[in-house]
Structure formats: structure tokens, C-alpha cells
Structure 1
Amino acid sequence: MRPAVVGGCALVLALGGTVPLAAQAGAEPCSHERPSGSGFGSGGSADLLPGEPKDRLPDLGSGPTRAVAWLTGPHSDNRTDARFSVSGTDLAIMWDNGAAEPDRRILMAFGDTFGDCSAPGEEWRHNVLMRSGDTNLTDGIDVPDPVPGDIHAGSPVHAHAPDFSRELVGALGIEGIEKTVIPTAGISVDGVQYINFMSVRAWGDHGEWWTNASMIGTSADNGETWHVDPATARLNVPLDIPGVQQLSSGNANFQQHAYVRHGGYLYDYGTPQGRFGAAFLSRVPEQQILDLAAYEYWTADGWIPGDVDRAVPIVPGAVGELSVHFTGDRFVMLYGNDATGAIELRTSPSPEGPWSGPRPLVTRDEAGGLYAPFIHPWSTGHDLYFTASRWSDYNVMLLRTTVP
């Protein structure tokens, strides 16, 4: 019997408040009724292409983008259903853990996750983590077996459930208060792992959801255990929280994040809740990532310290889940555009831009409901590997494209 899934540290409790109820419509992979629509990803369509069997990798034709392999699910070589009790999940936010060999790993943070749909609670977890040292991505990403207590093995697990990836950060699980807590970005600085989580209070239709806040969690043991720091809260609800000063309305533009390190700074790209906002940019000296007062914001006048309300868009909406990578000579940005129905790529010579026009990599006509493209940090040269989730399967695949 699997252990019951119990929340470990609800963000809304850390913030000390509740918010009004909203309509429910979210990720329901266990054959529940799903919202209709034409958008990418959760809260959008679950449609496959006509005549396409479920679980088949999409055939993307003769263009530069290819589907390589499933990363998660029962049809993946990793067989995460049997080895991790992960039958369905999404996101796979990736970053280098910063360790020296032989302990260097890619850490991958996933969102809402389920195991056995016939089990009580469907073995639901709000988030899980996997690790991989695979350097040959041409045939996928290999994830080693989980080992209890081994912080370099495939996933954090308990000794009494060695094939059950355990939750990193808990949530109340109450629609309209805190439905779930989802990772949006990850990075390593000086051996400490950082994840930015968003506390989702309710799901909507067609790529819409409502957040309480985003907040940073830290891990000093390679992602094995996590502590969420309430002082890093960027609130998105009208709450008066003693001791929390970040109540600026501009924090609404930093509910979801993408991290990249460059020149001694951590560049923090932000988007509002849902998938239809623009992208904004802040930066902070790497060692001060937890100090919101140390952040600078990109504005019409350049970098302005401490004033999130003056941040201006660097890329117009609709920007869905976002990732940014430095290839050595340029910055590459990937995101899902629910307005055009495509995963789009932009490039820039600097973190703030100017960013090129969007180049579609995958469209819904080619691949169905793909969303959340996250770049593999070991991508080199013109070869860009990235993960994407498909709503109909509610699992994650690895893709490859060529940066022009």
C-alpha cells in the first residue's frame, strides 16, 4: 500500500490568509472530465490530432524540431509509473545542480503528479523531483533508480516506499484557497538549490489560473528536502501580512519565473498568473537571491533598483510557461503562446534584449496540446534540447531543435 499524500508546507498557510472561491478547472489526468477549448496545456484542450493514438510521440515532419522520447509515464523507457509511481505529471523544469563530477546532475522539478488512479487519492502529489546525469540526449533522458537516503539517486523517496517519489512542498489542496503548489523555475548557486513555487488558489479555463503568491524554496541536500522562505513572497492577493513588505502591485508580473545565471547575476524573468501575460525581467547578485530588496528591474530607463512597479515588458503576451538559456553567444527563450497555438523561440544578444521576433517550433496542428517548454541546461551549440508536456497524455517528452 502506498503512503497517503500529505502536504508538507502550504504556502497559503505561510502567508497567513485565505482568498475568495473561484471556479474549478484544472489538471485532471485520471480520466476526469476536462475543460474544452483550443489552448495548449492544462486548462486548455486535451485533443490529440485526428486519428492519432494516445501516447504516441508526435511526428513533426521535415522541419528542424523533432520529438526524441518520452521522459515520464508508462510509455517511457524510464517507466516512471513502475519505478517512481509517476503515471502522469508535467513541466520538468531543469537546472544543473552545480556539483563536481561524479555528483553533477540535472535536477528536474515536476508539477501536479499522480500514480495509481485506482488508489485512494489517486496517489496525488503537488510536485516531485527527479535527477539525471545522462549526457547523451539523442535517445532521451535516462533517470536512475531511486535509492532511499541517496541524494544523488533518481528521486527523493522514503525507505518504507522506495518506488514512490515523494512530495517536495505540500499544499492545502482546497479550491479557492490553495489548490496546489507548482514549481516554475530552478537554479543552483554555491551548492544550494533554489526553486520558485507558485501557490495556485484556483484553476480556470483556457490557460487561466489564479495565484496567491510566488515564493522561493531552498535545498542544501541536492533537492532531497526543501524549506520555503516566506520572506521571498511576491503576493498576488490583497492581504495585509505582518512582516511581509512586498505588497507592490508589480509583483503580479512575477508569479511565474525563469532563471538564468550570467556575469555574477541571477536574471529572473517573470510572467503573471496564467498564460496570456507579457514577460518582465529583474536581476539580483547571485548570492542575494533570497533578498527581494536587492533586485533590480528592467525599465524604460534601464535597470532600476527595488521598484518592481516600474518593470516594463521585454516580450509581449501571450507568454506561457517560460525558460531561458545562455548558449555561450546568445540567450534563447522558449515559451508556449496560447494565442497562436505554438511553442515559440526567440533569441537575444543580452538578457534584456532586444529579443528577436518569435519563431514557431511546434504548433497544435502538428502535436496537439503541447505546453511548458523547458530547456535542458546541457544543450550546446546550435542543438537545443527541451522538454514539453502534452495534456492528452499528461506526461513529459524530450524534443530537439536547431537554433538558427
Structure 2
Amino acid sequence: MRLKVRMISLTAGLALLLSGCSGRSEANPQLGGDKDGAFLLKGVSDVEQVSQITGADSPNKTDQYAVFGTDLGSMINDGDKTYFVFGDTFATRAEGQIGGGGDYWRSNTMAYTTDDNPADGITLDGMIVDEIGLAKELLPSKKTDFDEMTKIPTYGIAANGALYLYYMSVNHWGDSGQWDSNYASTAKSTDGGQNWTLLDDLKWPGDSNFIQVSPYKLKVDDSHSDIYFWGIQSGRFGDGGVKLMKVAEPDIETADAYLYYAGQDEKGEPIWSSDLAQAKTVVDDTVGELSVVWNPYLQRWLMTYLREGQGVVIREGLAPWGPWGDAIDLVTAGEQPGLYAPFMNERYIADGGKTIYFTLSLWNPYNVFWFKASLEK
């Protein structure tokens, strides 16, 4: 199939040539500028649970917002505020209950903080609440099995003065680690997460490799930022591995503006296509709930994700499209049974990025925890 090519003006084309139109820049290591670079990450050390973020037993006592049990906890930075986005949320649960379930079910909720010291845990400033002060559902769902069971937020990003939340419409929860999605889409908030508008013109098919995404905004020059999205299929056992797409920040709401990584040319430069079917795998593995950030200590990309049944792993990348190094154990299932959703945030590091912090969900007690690890190079 021939690649679809977006036309650009002569002026824009010259500007792109001057700045490195291929997306790779010798001056920008984030775009693979260090072509002769070697992998640096040798392992991790000092991995520990720092604190609990959600639940009645957490320092934040989120049960005051009717958040007794919840999961996920991906993060969005906007100014000095960081938003934590949670999945299926419940107000009360039966004693000893494991996993999702309970009363006052909301498909997604959000907290926020200005806490910039991750060393002692995360103190939440509050949550997005309804008129009586309870954490409200951001994106309503039908809650009907084999139709739309729930809308699960996978990640979000601040762009163009707004918040964008990427989510998957889940048709049915199957066996552990397996679920079917109707589609993936995006919602937008212009009032700090209080209200959301569904962007129904921006959708990816339920069988695509962009149902769960991890976005990262990358500044190309003083006037231009691209947003890269690493994506996976529904569930945790898809055979598509991780694929990659990008969009210019001003075009984030335009479906046709998204470009998909379609491999490399004879010079090793990335090829971008507007055809979703041309998307190539950048990490070949069994991947659940992924997170990708740039790490200043390694001057490399970091990717964390769940290998169902084994634990959470971390990989190092030389460019958004790779190459990516071998997977290294970060937290094993033996150390933390029922773990999933290891989400990083470029804001929460220490020692110049040698220490990273991340959220981790535990199926028992079905809440979100705060972890740390040291990178060894």
C-alpha cells in the first residue's frame, strides 16, 4: 500500500529542512541526535514503596471524596499543577474485597496537587468534585456489558491551553488481563478538569494499536512542539507490541493530522505516514499499561509497562522509535502481587533523574501507591 503524504507549503518545507525535517536532529538527543549512542541503563536499585496515594488508609484519606478504591493514576502536568487520573472508582467495598467493585461506581475520577517533593509521597490538594464534594465522574459511560461497560482513561496531556484525556470505551471485561474495546478517543477540558467535552471526531478503532497511549510533548523549536504517543492494543496480551504516532500540538484535535511511524528509510531516518495501517512496531513485547518519559540522567527515553504475570519492566530508548534496549525488571509480581499500571512523570525525579518516582496500582487493596527506584548506568 502506498504511503499517504501530507502536502506542505514551500515555505514550511524549507523551514523543516533547516530544522531537520526527518524528525532527527544532531542537536537534539530526544530525536536520536546521538546516532552512535550506546545503551546506558544497566539495572535499577533501591526500589521501594514510598507511600499510598488513594484509599482510606492513605495519608490523603480519599474516602472523604467517596474514593475508597480506585486504580491507574497516570499524570498530567499543567503549569505548577499535576493531575492524577484514576480508573473505575468506588465509594465503599465489602471487607476483604479484592479488585474492582463496590458501590457508587464512577468510571473515572481525577485529583490534583502542587506537591513538588516526591520523596515523602504525594499530598493531594483536592479532587474534581460534584456539588456535594464527592469525586465526580469525568466521562460518563453506559455501564452496560457487551455495549459500553466503562470509559477508562489511559493518559492525558496539557496542550493549547487545555487538558486532553485519552480514553478507551471498554465493551467487555474478559479473563484477567483481557478486555475488548469499542474504540479509543479523547475528551477536552478548558476549565481545569471540571467539565469535559467528548471529541467524537477523534477516534481509533477498537482493534487498533492505539487503544492505550502514553503521550509526551517534545519541543521541536521555539514555535513548534510535537506530541508523541506510544500505543498498545486492548488488554495486556496483544501481539502488536508498542507502536508510535505523533501530531503537531496545534492539530491535536484533527484526526487526519496524526502521523504514524512507518519504519526508517535507507539513511535510518523515520518515515511518517497518515495511514494507520502503515504503523510499525517499535517495541516487540507483551505490553500492558505503558508510560514513556525523557530521562535527563541517562539522556535517554524510559518506558515502563506491565508484563502480565511477571511484573513491571523498564526499557531505555535512544529515540522515540528506538532502538529500545532490553527489558529490565523494575518490580516483580513476586514482590508486589497484583501489580499493574506503572506510570512515570518527568516532573517527579531526583538527583538529576537518577531517582525516578512512579505510581503503581495493586489489585489488593485496589488502590494507587507511590514508588521510587534508582537507575544504574
TM-score, normalised with respect to structure 1 = 0.74
Q: Tell me the equivalent position of 1:64.
A: 46
CA-to-partner distance for each residue in 1:248-267, whole Å, 9 max, x for gaps? Answer: xxx61111111011131100
Distance across 2 between alignment mates of 1:290 and 1:303:
22
Which AA in structure 2 matches 1:124?
A: W
Q: Tell me the equivalent position of 1:321.
A: 289
> What CA RMSD, in Å, does the superposition of the two structures yield over aligned residues?
1.6
How far has the Cα of 1:206 moved from its partner? 2.3
Please tell me whether the aligned partners of residues 95 and 107 of structure 1 are also in contact (alpha carbons under 8 angstroms).
yes
User: Which deviates more, 128-137 or 346-355?
Assistant: 346-355
1:294 aligns with 2:248: no
Distance across 2 between alignment mates of 1:291 and 1:330:
30
Please tell me whether the aligned partners of residues 74 and 343 of structure 2 are also in contact (alpha carbons under 8 angstroms).
yes
1:283 aligns with 2:246: yes
Please tell me whether the aligned partners of residues 201 and 212 of structure 1 are also in contact (alpha carbons under 8 angstroms).
yes
Which AA in structure 2 matches 1:298?
A: Y
How far has the Cα of 1:268 moved from its partner? 0.8
Which AA in structure 1 matches 2:176?
A: H
% same residue: 34
How far has the Cα of 1:276 moved from its partner? 1.7
TM-score, normalised with respect to structure 2 = 0.79
Q: 2:124 is matched with which residue: 143, 150, 160?
A: 143
Q: Tell me the equivalent position of 2:374.
A: 402
Q: Tell me the equivalent position of 1:268.
A: 229
Q: Tell me the equivalent position of 1:190.
A: 160
Please tell me whether the aligned partners of residues 262 and 273 of structure 2 are also in contact (alpha carbons under 8 angstroms).
no
Q: 1:79 is matched with which residue: 44, 61, 64?
A: 61
Count of equivalent residues: 310
CA-to-partner distance for each residue in 1:188-233, whole Å, 9 max, x for gaps? Answer: 0132101101000000112000000000101111111111111001
How far has the Cα of 1:370 moved from its partner? 0.6
Distance across 2 between alignment mates of 1:259 and 1:388:
18
Q: 2:200 is matched with which residue: 216, 221, 230?
A: 230
How far has the Cα of 1:169 moved from its partner? 0.4
How far has the Cα of 1:296 moved from its partner? 1.5
Distance across 1 between alignment mates of 2:254 and 2:322:
25
Which AA in structure 2 matches 1:352?
A: W
Q: Tell me the equivalent position of 2:355.
A: 383
Give runs of aligned pairs for residues 3-402 of structure 1, distance below 5 A: 63-81=45-63, 83-97=64-78, 99=79, 104-117=80-93, 122-144=103-125, 154-159=126-131, 161-162=132-133, 164-236=134-206, 252-262=208-218, 263=220, 264-277=225-238, 278-301=241-264, 302-328=270-296, 329-338=299-308, 341-380=310-349, 381-402=353-374
Q: In structure 2, the residue corresponding to 1:252 is in which secondary structure?
A: coil
- Segments of 4+ moved more than 3 angstroms: none
Please tell me whether the aligned partners of residues 95 and 377 of structure 1 are also in contact (alpha carbons under 8 angstroms).
no
